[in-house]
Amino acid sequence: MKTVTVGGNLKLACVMVGLPARGKTFIAQKVSRYLRWLGINIKIFNVGTYRRRDWGASQPHSFFDPNNEEGKKQREQSAWEALEDMFQWFDEGSGEVALYDATNSTSERRQFILEHCNKKDVQVMFIESICDNEKLILQNIMAVKTSSPDYSSVEEKQTAVQDFRNRIEHYAKAYETITDNELTYIKLINVGSKYIVNKIRGYLESRVVYYLMNLHIIPRNIFISRHGESVYNTQGKIGGDSELSPQGQLYAEALPKLISTHLKTQKLRVWTSTLRRTIATGAKLPYPKLQWKSLDELDAGVCDGLTYEEIAERFPEDYANRDNDKFNYRYRGGESYHDLVLRLEPVIMELERQEDIVIIGHQAILRCIYAYFMDLPQDRLPYINIPLHTLIRLTPMPYGTTEERFFAEINAVDTFRPKPPQTHPSPPTNQ
């Protein structure tokens, strides 16, 4: 299916701008994950990685002193190598969006990047992160200390922090914020407090801007759970709008306790689909509830209400084809996983804006949402195992998401079937 996501032969470089400890890498990784989930071919080019490879990971702050001619030359070489790799990646053909992650803290440096991108017909959007809130900066410094490969060999915490502060000072001396109003840019000021957006034109640029404007960094959990076992589940049928089975009803009764045990705050919102089995599963939860049509299960079209055996009998070709490219396979008169991702995009956007949430959903829907948070590729997405009667707690962290699974100890049918080893003829696989 064609979508408006990509307009022709677009090549876009998102160029990060900002002092160290301003969340540039965090932002680059979030944007990358979001666009990859939407099906965009995206790659991050992190200059720090090149610098560490070329000159070693444990350079002292003096390496970053603008008056250190040797250090400056070496850093510029790494920056250039990353840029060259980026252009090569675009030239190879299918690259759509590159994220060029470095400080890029002077007008001269940005002009240099812009000119080279223009020559290569690559559009440029600058993403500048500015922060003058000391508390936020310190938080970031501490996080960098514990996660940056630059300091993995430094044992004394205070030594690392001081060295990093000195490094920031070197950059701060030469730092110039973006003032050229001919450039396409977004400035993020103090993490979500203020944004300045200049000369944004394309669809993708506009999506990235809107996404960035919805991010926050407040710690929170996203709980996901499938509905309790349904009557259709026990009959091996897909789709429909059936009630819970007796076992499913037990899960609905156990869910409030299961959630409250693993909930860190008391402010929770519950999202369900508009189908009976998710509404009934969430019915006992003592939190505000919202029904989203967009969370309804994948529409199986003409196969709705059938068992896999019946599908194999009535639509043998469709059935055989599905495992060849399950992500893009669209049921006759229904939807594909690809369709679901596009349908769920506004849900993801709203999820980013929310704090603690529990989503009572369906197998295919939760696979898409899980894949977004865990950054899983489209070919693996339709085979993610999301069992019945299991609460999954997702915790967004600075550089990824952690997960824990809590089984309710109430038996249910197993609706999961792994990807078959050979795809034709194919054994049964679940939606």
Binding site for a copy of itself (CB under 8 A): 1-4, 181, 193-200, 203, 206, 209-210, 213-214, 240-241, 274, 290-294, 299, 304, 333, 335, 339, 342, 345-346, 350, 353
Separation CA 296–CA 272 (nearest Å)? 8
- Shortest reach from residue 85's CB to a copy of itself, in Å: 32
DSSP 291: E
CA distance 406 to 394: 11
> At a CB cut-off of 8 Å and minimum separation 6, what does 139 contact?
none
Nearer to a copy of itself, 180 or 403 (CB): 180
In the complex, what is the shortest distance from the CB of residue 408 to a copy of itself, in angstroms, rounded to a whole number?
A: 27
Q: What is the spatial distance between Cα 316 and Cα 425, in angstroms, rounded to a whole number? A: 10
**Nearer to a copy of itself (CB atom), residue 184 or residue 247:** 184
Angle at 346 between CA 233 and CA 351, to 5 degrees: 80
Using CA atoms, how far apart are residues 67 and 400, in angstroms rounded to an integer? 36
Of 290 and 397, the one with the shorter C-beta distance to a copy of itself is 290
Q: Is 61 tagged catalytic?
A: no
Alpha-carbon span 103 to 17, nearest angstrom: 5
Q: Which two tokens stand for residue 401?
A: 């998401």
Of 335 and 356, which CB lies nearer to a copy of itself in the complex structure?
Answer: 335
> What is the spatial distance between Cα 391 and Cα 389, in angstroms, rounded to a whole number?
7
**Closer residue to a copy of itself (CB): 167 or 187:** 187
Out of 163, 170, 227, 323, which one is annotated catalytic? 227
Closer to a copy of itself at the Cβ: 209 or 285? 209
CA distance 104 to 129: 11
**Residue 82 Cβ vs a copy of itself, minimum distance, rounded to whole Å:** 29
Tracing tokens 């876009």 back to the chain, one arrives at 12
Q: How far apart are CA 222 and CA 98, in angstroms?
A: 29
Q: Is 362 a catalytic residue?
A: no
Catalytic residue among 128, 150, 297, 345: 297
299 is written with which tokens?
């529409």
- In 263-362, where does DSSP find H-type helix? 276-282, 308-314, 316-321, 337-353
| Phi/psi at 64 (5° precision) | -95, 5
In angstroms, give the least distance from the CB of 4 to a copy of itself. 6
| Residue from 101, 150, 296, 323 carrying the catalytic annotation | 101
Q: Is 101 a catalytic residue?
A: yes
Could you report how far apart the first and last alpha carbons of the chain are, in Å? 19
Instruction: Give me the least distance between CB of 370 and a copy of itself, in Å please.
Output: 21
- How far apart (Å, rounded) are the C-alpha atoms in residues 340 and 344? 6
Nearest distance in Å: CB 241, a copy of itself: 6
- Residue 189, H or E segment: strand 185-189
Least distance from a copy of itself to the Cβ atom of residue 409, Å: 32
Of the two residues 138 and 290, which places its CB atom closer to a copy of itself in the complex? 290
* Catalytic residue positions, numbered: 101, 227, 297
